């Protein structure tokens, strides 16, 4: 009778089924493919990861930067935005200073929009913007400058002067920290359209 009770108990509790080895590898492969797919979507559609090798944006940007590729699908670039754009066969990083319809003047080592001096709090006080020029920014175009004005190749030296809206690939929002420069620089919107 005791043997019958043990058998019934085993029947009621159910026996564990042996898992097939192939199922484990299929699930593992599925998870690996899913992770790579999500990574691809994040880095190719939503965010961009770029290595800034030039010094035209130093000391504010250098090394690896993250950009939001969708920012300008919902709004236009603003004065002070750091953008990544296509110029010929290269991607460049610069700061937007002139918006469509603006009159940009460089005079006295400073940048003016119309008769208003642009307050560039992200630059050191010793930075001088070379040139004595005036431009009217056309519709759909932007006037850009590098933060390191002494060495930057930007709208002051481009033969085409302006950056076409269609060539803008994204807005830089974060500079990854290097080992000697922790904890990284977050480029956040502040009052008045300026960035820090």
Q: Are 195 and 189 in contact (CB under 8 A)?
A: yes
For residue 118, the model assigns a pLDDT of 95
Averaged pLDDT for residues 166-195: 61
Q: State which residues form the domain around 144.
A: 49-179+186-193
Round to whole Å and give the CA distance between 192 and 160: 29
163 close to 141: Cβ distance less than 8 angstroms: yes
Instruction: Please tell me the predicted confidence (pLDDT) of residue 107.
Output: 93
Decide if 38 is inside a domain. Answer: no
In whole angstroms, give the CA distance from residue 36 to residue 57. 32
Q: Is residue 41 part of a domain?
A: no
Q: What is the mean pLDDT of the chain?
A: 80
Q: What are 189's strand-pairing partners?
A: 195
In the three-class reduction of DSSP (H, G, I as helix; E, B as strand; rest coil), residue 106 is classed as: strand
Q: Domain for residue 16, yes or no? A: no
Higher pLDDT, 121 or 2: 121
Q: Is 22 part of any domain?
A: no
Domain CATH for 170: 2.10.109.10
Q: Is residue 30 domain-resident?
A: no
170 inside domain: yes
Query: Tokens standing for 20?
Result: 């097939």
Task: Report the pLDDT value the prediction gives residue 195, as an integer from 0 to 100.
Answer: 38
* 63-68 vs 82-87, strand pairing mode: unpaired
- Domain assignment present for residue 7? The answer is no
- Does the pLDDT at position 5 exceed 60? no
Rounded CA gap, 147 and 157, in Å? 14
Per-residue pLDDT at 1 exceeds 70: no
- Give the residue with greater pLDDT, 50 vs 7: 50
Burial category of 63 from C-beta neighbours within 10 Å (exposed 0-12, middle 13-18, buried 19 and up): middle
Please answer whether residues 43 and 156 qualify as being in contact, where contact means their C-beta atoms are separated by less than 8 angstroms: no
pTM confidence score: 0.70
> In percent, how much of the chain has pLDDT > 90?
42
Q: What is the pLDDT of residues 61-99, one digit of tens each?
A: 878 888 888 889 889 999 999 999 999 888 899 999 999
Furthest CA-CA distance within the chain: 106
- Predicted local distance difference test score (pLDDT) of residue 190: 34
C-beta neighbour count of 110 within 10 angstroms: 15
What domain count does the chain have? Answer: 1
Residue 6 included in any domain: no
Work out the pLDDT band at 186, boundaries 50, 70, 90. very low
């Amino acid at each position: 009778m005791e043997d019958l009770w043990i058998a019934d108990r085993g029947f009621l509790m159910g026996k564990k089924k042996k898992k097939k080895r192939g199922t484990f590898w299929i699930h593992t492969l599925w998870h690996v493919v899913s992770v790579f797919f999500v990574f691809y979507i994040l880095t190719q559609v939503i965010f961009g990861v770029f290595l800034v090798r030039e010094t035209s944006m130093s000391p504010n940007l250098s090394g690896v930067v993250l950009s939001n590729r969708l920012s300008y699908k919902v709004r236009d670039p603003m004065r002070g935005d750091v953008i990544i754009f296509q110029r010929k066969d290269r991607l460049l990083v610069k700061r937007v200073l002139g918006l469509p319809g603006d009159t940009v003047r460089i005079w006295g080592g400073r940048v003016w929009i119309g008769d208003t001096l642009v307050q560039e709090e992200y630059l050191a006080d010793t930075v001088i913007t070379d040139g004595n020029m005036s431009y009217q920014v056309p519709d759909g175009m932007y006037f850009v400058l590098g933060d390191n004005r002494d060495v930057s190749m930007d709208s002051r030296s481009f033969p085409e002067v302006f950056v076409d809206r269609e060539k803008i690939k994204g807005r830089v929002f974060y500079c990854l920290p290097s080992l000697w420069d922790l904890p990284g620089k977050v480029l956040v919107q502040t009052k008045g359209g300026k960035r820090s």
